[in-house]
């Protein structure tokens, strides 16, 4: 299978309102509701405005996101041949969800040669969620 060509000039920007909608849908999905609807799955109801899910279970550790330090990310990308930052959804040894970050070259290949660095050990949300209200966290 051939990968589609990379688009080096691609604009990755997403407006804050769109990003808030996307994370709201993910939270609803994680809590057992049908994402992006005001209907319900398993008797749950999603408020179309706030994204709140009535009757939902609490979010699992790390199911909403995570955080890496600037120092660690910049170190990962400090290789001269690093052009991209790739993430992989993963599970740790205990089965908890996590994300692994790796630098990628101009062709999109993971840079794993010569003792290359990858990142995990992030601060998962929850419990390490923004202490102040955030449209992305809900």
Report field, pTM of the whole predicted structure over 0.75: no
pLDDT of residue 55: 55
pLDDT of residue 86: 93
Q: What is the pLDDT of residue 89?
A: 84
Contacts of 56 (CB under 8 A, 6+ apart): 28, 31, 32, 33, 44
Rounded to the nearest 5°, which phi and psi values hold at 53? -115, 115
Q: For residue 14, what are the CA distances in angstroms to 9, 17, 19, 23, 113?
A: 15, 8, 6, 12, 32
Please name the helix (run of DSSP H) or strand (run of DSSP E) that holds residue 26, with its range, or none: helix 16-30
CA gap 20, 15 in Å, rounded: 9
What pLDDT was estimated at residue 39?
A: 40
Instruction: Determine the pLDDT at residue 4.
Output: 78
Task: Kindly list the averaged pLDDT for each block of 10 residues, start to end, along the chain of length 138.
Answer: 75 74 78 50 54 60 81 92 91 83 93 83 83 81
* pLDDT, position 82: 94
């Amino acid at each position: 299978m051939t990968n589609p060509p990379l688009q080096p000039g691609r604009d990755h920007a997403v407006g804050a309102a769109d990003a808030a909608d996307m994370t709201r849908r993910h939270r609803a999905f994680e809590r057992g509701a049908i994402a992006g609807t005001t209907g319900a799955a398993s008797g749950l109801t999603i408020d179309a405005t706030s994204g709140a899910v009535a009757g939902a279970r609490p979010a699992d550790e790390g199911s909403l996101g995570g955080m890496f330090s600037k120092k660690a990310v910049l170190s990962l990308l400090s290789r001269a041949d690093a052009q991209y930052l790739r993430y992989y959804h993963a599970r740790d040894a205990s089965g908890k969800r996590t994300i692994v970050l790796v630098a990628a070259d101009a062709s999109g290949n993971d840079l794993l040669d010569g003792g290359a660095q990858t990142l995990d050990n992030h601060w998962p949300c929850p419990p390490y969620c923004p202490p102040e209200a955030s449209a992305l966290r809900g």
